[in-house]
Amino acid sequence: MSSDSLPPLPQNRIVLGCGQVAVDFLATVASFPNPDDKIRSTSLKVQGGGNAGNASTCAARLGLNPRLISKVSNDSHGKGILEELEADGVDTSFFIVSEEGNSSFTYVIADSQTNTRTCIHTPGYPPLIPEELSQSSLLSALDGVNMVYFDGRHHETALVVAKEAARKNIPILVEAEREREGLDDLLDFATYAICSAKFPQAWTEAPSVPSALISMLLRLPKLKFVVVTLGEEGCIMLERSVNGGSDAEEMDVHCLLESLKLIKDDSKTIPTCISSVETKLSANGIGTITGRLFVGTAEKIPPSELVDTTGAGDAFIGAVLYGMPPEKMLPFAAQVAATGCRALGARTVLPLRTDPRLASFL
């Protein structure tokens, strides 16, 4: 598809990420080994990884201009990380490069039998600290930025960036993959949150995902929406009403979710999205939020095409950075994530904006 036939890119295309970059050593195996087993890989790939690195790469391929704040060592892994990001169009000029220590790396074992992946991560050392990011660099990094994204790593430095972004009224997207040191402080500044399947309940101690989403919006007054990604089950999103919606009908959030699931079209293989009208959503023992509930489906990937889900969540976030309204954003992000699952590695087949599989979503 030619770029001439595509709708124009967002007016402000500059986004800033802050978080983890790494080298991924990806091995596919026929089935996961037992203790003391010696097995052979069926394929091997070495490429850049890390949540923020992957999401920024995805955003760059979709036509955005991502900048990234992170840290590597001046070793072979670090040099490779920077070269790969730069080749994809990610601005690495705000990286800290340490003359000592090691860059982050991860061993990823992709199990063909169960379509699962296991990660063994070695963090970079020494870690990024706020003193390494000068005030002038921080202001330059934020200049003209449309959105800031945090993956929850380098939490002390991330908090400094978040405070300055909030002072400048720049929207903040926080990825909540699992509970981490300093994540609560970041979430306090979040305009948007994207969570893994288990995070909302773990963080709120609510009895279900829908009630946990209500709890998150009640606990985080700056939060405009929260999305929970559910793999092949798609995603659920709760968006806070802007005007309060005092005339909205009250309904139990679980009942509303079930009614939306009943009307979604399971015959479609491409991602879709259905939403409620503005509703006063209640969860017993937790409280009430006025807003809209969305149910997004995932692409039904044929088993023969599903190779590796590494980085699918990062790709989803990279597509969210594009900045669409929810009805378009959720199917678009799901399609981008699914496209990336068709080869070994998080970045191998991340789509370009001109990819014909994205045409109907743009």
* Yes or no: domain 14-21+51-100+130-358 corresponds to CATH 3.40.50.2000: no
Residue with more model confidence, 310 or 173: 173
* CA distance readout (Å), 334 to 263, 265, 273, 316, 329: 19, 16, 10, 6, 8
- Asked if the model's pLDDT at residue 319 lies above 90, the reply is yes
* Mean of the per-residue pLDDT values of the chain: 94
Cα distance between residue 219 and residue 204, in whole Å: 9
* CA distance readout (Å), 318 to 61, 125, 130, 148, 347: 9, 26, 25, 12, 12
- Asked if the model's pLDDT at residue 7 lies above 90, the reply is no
What's the mean pLDDT in 329-345?
Answer: 95
Cα distance between residue 221 and residue 224, in whole Å: 8
- How sure is the predictor about 224, in pLDDT bands with cuts at 50, 70 and 90? very high
Domain edges within the chain? 14-21+51-100+130-358
Kindly calculate the radius of gyration of the chain based on its CA atoms and give it in whole angstroms: 20
Query: Residue 76 class from Cβ within 10 Å (0-12 exposed, 13-18 middle, 19+ buried)?
Result: exposed
The model's pLDDT over 184-213, given as tens digits with 9 standing for 90+, comes to 999 999 999 999 999 999 999 999 999 999
Which pLDDT does position 196 carry in this prediction? 97
Question: Is-contact 296 332, C-beta < 8 A?
Answer: no
The model's pLDDT over 60-114, given as tens digits with 9 standing for 90+, comes to 999 999 999 999 999 999 999 999 999 999 999 999 999 999 999 999 999 999 9
The model's pLDDT over 37-46, given as tens digits with 9 standing for 90+, comes to 999 999 999 9
Lowest mean pLDDT across 11-15, 32-36, 128-132, 139-143: 11-15
Cα distance between residue 21 and residue 44, in whole Å: 20
The fraction of the chain above a pLDDT of 90, given in percent, is 89
Lowest mean pLDDT across 148-157, 166-175, 244-253: 244-253
Question: Is-contact 33 39, C-beta < 8 A?
Answer: yes
**In the block, which residue shows the tokens 């773990």?**
202
- How sure is the predictor about 362, in pLDDT bands with cuts at 50, 70 and 90? confident
